Chain A
Amino acid sequence: MFNSTFSWNDLQFMLQGAWVTILLTVVSMIIGTLAGVVCGMARALLPRSTIPLAWLLDVFRSVPLLIQFVLFNALKSIAGLDWSAFAVACVVLGLYVTAYCTEIVRSGVLSVPLSLRRASRSLGLTYWQDLRRIVMPMATRVAFPGWVNLLLSVMKDTALVMWIGIVELLRASQTIVTRIQEPLLVLCIAGLIYYVMSLVIARLGARLETRWQEND
């Protein structure tokens, strides 16, 4: 029962898959965070005129990610764009992250008391100075735990990209399962890799959070 044909090369193949997972997560988080900060600030500062934006982003949260991947992949072919599957995955995940990040940033910005902003303005800071030096640092602390949670959930959601043909960790393990026919062992290893990755992110996030709160 305990002899297995799982070899060192298989593990390497899975780690390559894990690398793709990490790469996808990082790229989509960068895209999504940048766009999300812009959209979130806009949502918090101009709540009335950006309501259509909220509707649009709400769509990305109410439609399964799997269907978004398939739709964008089809749309790419229809529009005649010659993008790789990896680029499509990055765009879709980026939009998905944007939708969530917008809400996180918005609630962070709104958590800064208005009286504080009035005080900074009355001390002679301009509108943009106030945003950059008062609102942003305070909002970041509030939004950070939510952002780490988002990072964790995106890392897990990248598993869905296997449907459009990217070999990431789960797809890699499936390939190995098909060859050596030992699903439990291979999947447990894949699960362990996912588990370790999320644990590392969660620990780092918690440590950073406590470090930021030292001066409070």
Chain B
Amino acid sequence: MFDYNFHWRAAFKALPDMLDGAWVTFQTAALSMILGVIIALFLVFMRQGKNPVFRGFAATWISIARNTPSLFQVYILYFGLGSFGLHVSSWVALLAGITLNNAGYLAENFRGGLKAVPDTQLRAARSLGMSAPQAYRLIVIPQLLRIVFYPLTNQMVWAVLMTSMGVIVGLNNDLTGVTQDYNVKTFRTFEFFAIAAVLYYLIAKLIVAVARLLSWRLFRY
């Protein structure tokens, strides 16, 4: 049945390159998370505002991000934008696709989080003489952060896993891309992808561990 010799040594020789790839993967995911959080906050405020154009824009963004596959989103950014004469690199397409996706999902999380912070908190802060930005910064945001922290961690892990789609649009310097490059050269698919899987697992676990440490530090009171 097992008529196959595993060649692990070749795969381990590629490990330094794959670690570089893992670093790119992590950077891409982190960048998409930062941009995603900012955009998600804008979307939440747009959706709560009165301007119907902004409301419609935010609602459309969120429903498209949540109801279509993330691979499709990357695809339409990579191939579709060419119709407008915009030729983006695969890394930009991947980053934009993941950011779009993250922003859509995070906006929903933030909306739920904002709902969970009672209105009276804001009013009490205002009546104690805080300005609106102060009230948001000192009262609402700390409570909101506590609620959305766990979903944020989850979304970060998701972002790391989503970066693996870059290889489909031809990205070759992230973890999956590097792995695929070696795979094409050596045809040792199982060995290389097994190591990639282990690395992805470690990255995901590392993020969860750091988040747990952070939450222990941040939410002591």
Point out residues on A near B: beta carbons under 8 Å: 59, 62-68, 70-71, 73-75, 78-80, 152, 156-160, 162-163, 170, 174, 177, 182-184, 187-188, 190-191, 194-195, 198-199, 202
Contacts and interface: CB of A to CB of B under 8 A. Distances in A.
Contacts of B168: 66, 162-163
B169 to A, nearest CB: 11
> Which of B3, B82, B193 counts the most chain A CB atoms within 10 A?
B193
A31 to B, nearest CB: 20
B79 A177 contact: yes
Interface in B166-198: 167-168, 176, 189-190, 193-194, 196-197
Among B4, B63, B67, B196, which residue has the most Cβ atoms of chain A within 10 A?
Answer: B67
B67 A194 contact: yes
B67 A198 contact: yes
B112 interface: no
A67 B193 contact: yes
Interface of B: 1-4, 63-64, 66-72, 75-76, 79-80, 82-84, 157, 161-162, 164-165, 167-168, 176, 189-190, 193-194, 196-197, 200-201, 204-205
Nearest to A158: B69
A202 B200 CA distance: 31
Contact of A67 (B2, B67, B196): B196
Contacts of A199: 67
Main secondary structure of the interface of B (DSSP, over half): helix
Given A79-B2, A156-B69, A159-B69, A67 B165 contact: no
Contacts of B3: 80
B193 A62 contact: no
Contacts of B66: 198
Contacts of A187: 72, 75-76, 79-80
B193 A184 contact: no
B64 to A, nearest CB: 7
Contacts of A156: 68-70, 72
Nearest to B180: A70
Nearest to B84: A184
Contacts of B72: 156, 159, 170, 187, 190-191, 194
Nearest to B63: A195
A64 B189 contact: no
Contacts of B189: 70, 73-74
A71 B201 CA distance: 14
